[in-house]
A and B are shown apart, each in its own frame.
Chain A
Amino acid sequence: MRSVFTSCSDRALHIFDSLFHVDPVSLCLAFLVVPACVQAIQPGRAGRAAVLCVAALATVLGLSPAVQAVALGVIAAQDREACPAVWSVPALLLSVLFPAQTFLVLAVLPVLFWSALVRQPDEEKEGGAFPAVMGILGVSLVWHAPVSVPAELVAGLGAAVIALLGRSVLGACRPGDLGLLRPVLLMVLVVAAQAEGLAVCARIALEATLLDLSLLVLTAVLGRVFPALSVLRLPFPPLPGLVVLWLGIHAALGMAAGVEGWSVLGVVVALLLGLLSLSDILIVGRVLRAWQGTVPGTSVLFIGAASLLLPALVFGMASPVLHFISGEWVWPVWRMGGGDGASLRLPAFVLTGAILWCVLVRPWRVVGGIVQAASTLLPALGNLLSVGDGLFEEAPSLGWKMRSVIVAGRRRLRVLRNVKAPVLPDLRQGAVGLWLVLLGLVLAVLGVMA
């Protein structure tokens, strides 16, 4: 009786294994995706969030590329400003036919990030529809494509960042939330380090990825109630954004120390991470300015405490995942190792600073003095974050030759745009059905090829 039961459960586990990714990283991403879907809940339309959640889980956990493509299509169809179907449908279909190819991973990324990055951001809706979900899906896409070439992925991401920045400089418009691409870049490092057998380096990059993703999810869940939480992403010292930047740089250069061809690539990744942190400054400044409410001093103190404890909390909760990547484990309360011998003693640094600040302010003289003093910090930070305002206000004055080149390019683009794009029916209505039909087509092609 007992042996029958165990064999049944074994078989069930086997079936489960053959349908889903059950490695710890995928499970952790699935665990993160569920709260991220909270952002999609709107009054009266709870079904949308449920569909989004199920589709995101299917994308993260599903083993078959067809299921992933359908789920991605459903998610893209939920978004009002999604990527044009001319691009997304062929990209998803090809990703079913040739799963885990490098150029197809790069081709699917615009489907995810179109509404957050490419679309002209207007004032009332910031950062696309559900940026946290899209960030996690991008990470899981790279994690499920271990055969892809990391150098090409880094080059593609770098080219995308440069192109988006160049577009916003030349077009005098603000860039979108480029920081969404950072977890994807860090995940590329994880995959590359695992392929080269550098387990410590992979763990450091995974730590940075998970911390960045949890910051994204945290701002997505609580962002509507408490927009000041987005400050946590900034790369300035007490905040966890600095930990992400530092760990990312050291993971990239750890690759450079271990693998021959990564010297230049590691420096490029480090500079890209710096650039993405700068775009975070721009985004957070915009969020703080759009939010008119005053911030009480208690919440500033809360943010300070949270920023000290958050990395330790995230790494502690994700320790099974990190163990899976590499066995060596240190509880990083006082110091975070960079994997190459360097260590970041951020808590000691910040506590020294906090003691100095308290001595200078001397809040014990007045009742509630520390709260009062802390409440002046966030407006000052918002003041500092307004540095990026002037950068994208006006187009640069270029020479005549450059201008004529740009105008000619624009004319050519307009001609291209006038060519009738194939118009698909409104995808939001029959999203699942349409994608099932497309899936059937793909399966037919696969059957013919077999």
Chain B
Amino acid sequence: MGHEIGLILLSVLEALFQVGLLLVLAPVMGWCLDSLPLWLAGRSVGSVRFRLLQAARVWRALFQAPLGGRPAMALTAGVLTLVCLPTVTTGSALSSLADPLVVGLVVLLGRGFLGPGLVQGEGGRLVPAVLLLCLTEALIALAAPGTDGLSGLCAMLHIEPEPGLEGALAACALALGIACPPLRSDDVTQMLSGLQDRHEREATRSIADVLNCGWLLLLADLALPVSVGLAQGGVQGWWLGFLALGGRLALTVAVAVGLRLMAQERSARLTALFAGVALLLALAGRFGT
């Protein structure tokens, strides 16, 4: 009995650690997404310290005064994504709730609730993103019937590797990243055009960072599900999963920045190409075995 309670406490602790870590990482990833393209082009960029300080200010203000209903919904969507997705290992408390379709739709919902207005062309991102999420869910159910959500998929791929499905999911993640890229700071500025309150503007920027972090983590988990550690891995497995998390997120940010630099975001042809590749790989993996 005591052993079980200890296990439950451990999984809750891991979930809390995961949220804390990702909430600290979110401004860093936002800084990378905004500044790395400029820095690579040889222009001067602000320090990452200011971004972190701004996030800290927003969180402190949030503890003093409550948010409005709409931005609170957007932040809820972001934090819910960060809690549920398998991050370091699959053993965190809420990781069984991570269904790719549900989590993806939550992030898209949060993006819609972010500002008083919508980003121009958000419809052109939502439509392919929803279709691609349906395709992802379908391919997982097709190639690995019996898995339960993303954490079940990670656990299953450790036991029984399926190269066809892994390739298909990586292609799906890439297509999702092309069709519905993370929000840029220009997009957020455009969304904020009607807002006067300074606190609310700063809060919205931080919430956009959290939502971007959630979306990139979902793509990273889809692209490299094997790199998530197992719940029974012990201390060594946990550290391996921690290192793999860093590598996975760095890779995803690098790909997102690369797509932005090459101006291939929202390219309909590339999206269709990678979706088709994913379908072919999954079918080949199914018929090959």
Which residues from chain A sit less than 8 Å from chain B, CB to CB? 235-237, 242, 245-246, 249-250, 252-254, 256-257, 263-264, 266-267, 270-271, 273-275, 277-278, 281, 338, 340-346, 348-349, 352-353, 356-357, 360-363, 365, 372-377, 380-381, 383-384, 386-391
Which residues from B are CB-within-8-Å of A357? 72-73, 76
Which residues from A are CB-within-8-Å of B84? 349
Is chain A's interface secondary structure helix, strand, loop, or mixed overall?
helix
A340 touches B141 (CB 8 A): yes
A387 touches B80 (CB 8 A): no
Determine if B131 is an interface residue (Cβ-Cβ < 8 Å).
yes
Which residues from A are CB-within-8-Å of B121? 390
- Bitwise interface map of B from 38 to 79 toward A, beta carbon under 8 Å scored 1, else 0: 000000000000000000000000100011111011011101
A360 touches B112 (CB 8 A): no
CA distance A295 to B145 in the complex (A): 43
Determine if B96 is an interface residue (Cβ-Cβ < 8 Å).
yes
Shortest A205–chain B CB gap in Å is 14
Which residues from A are CB-within-8-Å of B286? 263
Which residues from B are CB-within-8-Å of A381? 112-113
Chain B residue total in the interface (Cβ 8 A):
56
CA distance A103 to B105 in the complex (A): 36
Given contacts A345-B97, A352-B80, A373-B72, contact A267 B118 (CB under 8 A): no
From A235, A266, A361, A365, give the contact of B130 (CB < 8 A): A235
Shortest A272–chain B CB gap in Å is 9
Given contacts A361-B72, A374-B69, contact A345 B96 (CB under 8 A): yes
CA distance A229 to B209 in the complex (A): 33
Shortest A162–chain B CB gap in Å is 13
B131 touches A271 (CB 8 A): yes
- Bitwise interface map of B from 127 to 152 toward A, beta carbon under 8 Å scored 1, else 0: 10011011101110110011111001
From A242, A281, A344, A376, give the contact of B70 (CB < 8 A): A376
Which residues from chain B sit less than 8 Å from chain A, CB to CB? 62, 66-70, 72-73, 75-77, 79-80, 83-84, 94, 96-97, 99, 101-102, 105-106, 108-109, 112-113, 116-118, 121-124, 126-127, 130-131, 133-135, 137-139, 141-142, 145-149, 152, 279, 283, 286-287
Shortest B288–chain A CB gap in Å is 12
A380 touches B135 (CB 8 A): no
A263 touches B283 (CB 8 A): yes
Which residues from B are CB-within-8-Å of A383? 112, 116-118
From A242, A267, A361, give the contact of B102 (CB < 8 A): A242
A365 touches B68 (CB 8 A): no
Shortest B10–chain A CB gap in Å is 19
Which residues from B are CB-within-8-Å of A387? 112, 118, 122-123, 126
A252 touches B138 (CB 8 A): yes
A253 touches B141 (CB 8 A): yes
CA distance A343 to B97 in the complex (A): 9
B76 touches A275 (CB 8 A): no
Shortest A245–chain B CB gap in Å is 7
Closest A-chain residue to B62, C-beta based? Answer: A360
B83 touches A341 (CB 8 A): no
B142 touches A274 (CB 8 A): no
B123 touches A270 (CB 8 A): no
